[in-house]
Structure 1
Amino acid sequence: MYWPITALGALAGMLLASIPGALLGGLLGQVLDRRLDLRSWADLRRRMQGATGPREQQLLFGLLGRLAKSAGAVTAAHIQQARNEMRRLQLDEAAEQLAIAAFTRGKSAEQSLRRPLRQRRANRALAEELLRACWRMAWAGGQVAPAQYQLILDCGEHLGLQRDAVLALGAAYARSNVPLMASAAAEQEALRVLGLSAEAAPAQIKQAYRRLLSRHHPDKVAGAGASPAQVRAATDKTCELHRAFELLRNRRDFP
């Protein structure tokens, strides 16, 4: 039964307009309870505090399972990252078992993510927490696969975040996975990907990255009526651009 905001709405409506107001307030409250997936006062309190409750934890580990599998195969690094998330959340034994089950279900890719993510659009803090965990899982293997990259962008869209905001959340994890002493050959390859010379200044690197990212973004290609193969190629190119930019930013130390 959905009832926290329903009860508050009915009470406020009663105080303002007697029985008709209570009915209207309760109806509007029920709409909000359903949209936000609130089933108790504890759920409402967690939502207001930006905390991760049991249902959010189930969603989180389902997402992590989906991301791990989308890379092609679930590796030991992915499983270890899931355990790291359990420790970060300080889950007890019972909660860990539920998280493991959610992770396993997520690997099957049978459940749609659209509805549960859209239900959490109103909580920006929770949305960002979920996406940061997704980026940590995606980078667990040392490199984000194109399918993982697109899945995170899709999740961000369902959560109501702009693409740039989603990428910004993953930037720190990308930088931490680029070798600090990348070879000169790797730097030259990154410059080639961005179409730049060795003398390119940070501003020129940023400009080239944004220009190419806009040109090759999968959404733009798909909107032009491209085939699935062309969309996949655009996703691969986007990942390549992202890795090249992060390598140069890390090696040349600019924000």
Structure 2
Amino acid sequence: MILADSHCHLDFDELAPDFDTVMARARAVGIRRFVTIGVRVRQHARVLAKAEAHDDVFCTVGTHPHYADEETDISADDLIAHAHHPKVVGIGEVGLDTFLANAPWDAQMRNLRAHIVAARETRLPLVIHSVRQDEAMAQVLREESASGAFPIVMHCFSGGPALARTCLDLGAYLSFSGMLTFPERDYLREIARDLPADRILVETDAPSLAPVPYLDQRNEPAYLTHVVACLARLRGTSAETIAEQTTRNFFAAFEKIPPLEQLS
């Protein structure tokens, strides 16, 4: 089984004490590509360092909505300049979040639109963080797509059916994390069950959002197999089929990442 973790944070301190062992466990279960995600443009160097140190690791550049007010001066041109690096394969994560984030709304919105400009210009996928802002996010995506299309990956999708439909209409990929296994997420499992197979990605968001049976523990990329197993049960197929399809989707979404010689 060959897998790709489309969203993790390999530079976070929680993974540092046993990083090499964490990566060995991930590779042992079949993960062949990792995208480690930027959350602060001013700390991009530490994210890029992880990507440069490992052939199978790539990265993104962006400002997480939690830190939007710290980087209001980051422009689309700044993002585009970083995106020229061969290991930078996406823009973000960026988005809207007033549930977990304290950054002002106008700062979040300004950063989101700047990142969209960069994604449109570079043709790299915009990696979106959207928490309890379905209507606002859908409106921005529709407005901006009307001005020119851009690739979209909805990271750790937790929205409702209306946002899912908007994303599908715009050609977005929806990525599912360990949250899919949480007991109270029946609505999310219904969405994942019914999505077109070619629109689904899988991720861990490690070191956060560990799946059942590791709830409230540190997450790591090796636990991606639990997300895959959950999707397989929901969709009435095998874990191997989910792995193959989501890995193909991964390379379609992140076109800058060189493909594996074989996917099965």
Answer 1 or 2: higher relative contact order, Cα 8 Å, separation at least 6. Answer: 2
What is the TM-score of this pair, normalised by structure 2? 0.25
TM-score scaled by length of structure 1: 0.26
- Higher helix share goes to which structure? 1
| Larger strand fraction of residues | 2
